[in-house]
Amino acid sequence: MNGTSCKKESELSVEEKNIFAGHLESQGLSDNIWDLFGEWVRRSTPGVNFFYLKVYNGVDLIGLGLFLKVKPVDLRSSYAGFRKNIVLNKIAAGISALSSNCVYISFRNLITCNITRPFFYQSPELAETVMTSMLKYLRNNKDADMITIVDTIEHDSVYLSEGFSGYVSSSEASLDVAKYTDVAHYLGEHKNLKKNLARKKITPMAEVRCGLLSGVEIQQMKACVDCSVQESNVNNPCQKFFEQNIFDTEVYTSDKYIHIFVRVDGVIAGFHTFQVSGCEMGGVLGGFNRNFTRNNFVYERVIIASLEYSIANGIRRVHYSLIDNYTKLRLVESREASRLYFYSRNPINRKVFDLTYRFNDIYKLYCMEKSVLEVKPLSHGGLKTGDNPRA
């Protein structure tokens, strides 16, 4: 298709959303999929700026991508080794400040609550045209020193043909709810989990909340998040912005989202917040307080509760983001192969990224998943890539 063009904008009208109604219907989604990203756009700052990348054929809107711009990008956000080492932390902070690189980013977690890829098309046959047009625009945009997109391999050939390098990543994890008639069916496939959950004399109970939360509950959930961030294997590229703003969004100030938490001794020991869109449910934020979780199987109980809620409410699939821990890998068995795609016009940036990717958080997650799947055969059509960080 000739004559396509792209435009960055900070507004998406109702009429423009309606253009993608067919896309949402085909994915089993409702129009609340736009809600959280719309809030992020309104909360944008000069340093963290969210935007819609619209693709036009002539004057007709045919595609849409959801992105954020971070400047300056903090190298520590992608490398746990930098974050957790005092000396390397200071060095990385200094390099980040001096280089003042600008990066354009797109990934499911922060943008679409993990429910769907952050790319939308007027009709399915336009998908490749839209992706090609967006990638060409990004590649030629002089404002972006680097572009990082974590995506499934659905359009792998398009990324590579447009000059992006593909690097290995852990998979997107989800529960195929339709497989299970009830939770007992799921536990029958995970007998060790069933045994562990029955071990304690006093069983911590999971609670599902669809309404507003109390101030005490919010504070306990923040404590869980703080603990998880300290122990996390991966941060998002605008981690501080996210932490400073997420609890002020409608995610926690309205009744539009689902909160599942587990209490131990009356205190929230762990939780996960979800968005339900159509017949899909995706995780927005989770946190677990290590002071309470040991031997209480809190993470496992949240997964079980999310499955139970989904079965009872006709949810088709629960999305849990990239595999980032062994428990998720063990218990959430549907996996969609993903890659990290990177582009920079600057050959130095390309070389540095290539040489350091082995120390990147996403690569570490890939290695964790790979170490298990080498023993347990691949069941998701993933890429077998050996130890090469480039897939």
187-240 pLDDT, tens digit each: 999 999 998 888 765 678 899 999 889 999 999 999 999 998 887 777 777 888
**Do the beta carbons of residue 238 and residue 232 sit within 8 Å?**
no
Whole-number average pLDDT of the chain:
89
Burial bucket for residue 379 (CB in 10 Å: 0-12, 13-18, 19+): exposed
Classify 51 as helix, strand or coil: strand
Query: Which has more pLDDT, 202 or 377?
Result: 202
Which DSSP string corresponds to 140-166? H-TT-SEEEEEEEGGGHHHHHHTTPEE
Report the topology of domain 4-171+337-373: Aminopeptidase (3.40.630)
- Three-state DSSP class for residue 56: strand
The yes-or-no verdict on residue 378 having pLDDT over 60 is no
| pLDDT at residue 380 tops 50 | no
What is the CA 129 to chain-centroid distance, rounded? Answer: 25
Query: Do the bridges between strand 60-70 and strand 206-209 make them parallel or antiparallel, or are there none, so unpaired?
Result: unpaired
pLDDT beyond 70 at 98: no
Q: What percent of the chain has pLDDT over 70?
A: 88
Strands (E), the chain: 4-9, 48-57, 60-70, 103-106, 119-121, 146-152, 165-168, 172-176, 206-209, 258-264, 267-277, 280-288, 317-322, 334-336, 338-343
On the question of a common fold for 4-171+337-373 and 177-334, the answer reads: yes
In this predicted model, what pLDDT tens digit does every residue of 319-339 receive, in sequence order?
999 999 999 999 998 999 999
335 φψ region: left (φ > 0), alpha (ψ -120 to 50), beta (else): beta
pLDDT of 383 > 70? The answer is no
Angle, CA of 374, 170 and 81, to the nearest 5°? 105
Token pair for 87: 């000396």
What is the rounded radius of gyration, in angstroms, for the C-alpha atoms of the chain? 21
Q: Where are the domains of the chain?
A: 4-171+337-373, 177-334
Q: What are the pLDDT digits (tens) for 250-290?
A: 999 999 999 999 999 899 999 999 999 999 999 999 999 98
pLDDT (0 to 100) of residue 385: 42
Q: What pLDDT score does 255 carry?
A: 93
What are the residues facing 262 on neighbouring strands?
206, 270
In sequence order, the 6+-apart residues with CB closer than 8 A to the CB of 326 are 368, 372
- CATH class of the region 177-334: alpha beta
> 69: which residues sit within 8 A by CB, 6+ positions away?
48, 49, 50, 51, 102, 103, 104, 105, 143, 144
Task: Report d(CA 36, CA 112) in Å as an integer.
Answer: 7
Q: Is the pLDDT of residue 381 over 50?
A: no
Question: Which band of pLDDT confidence, cut at 50, 70 and 90, is reported for residue 154?
Answer: very high
Predicted confidence at residue 117, as pLDDT, reads 95
Residue 293: predicted pLDDT: 65
Distance CA 391, CA 388 (A): 7
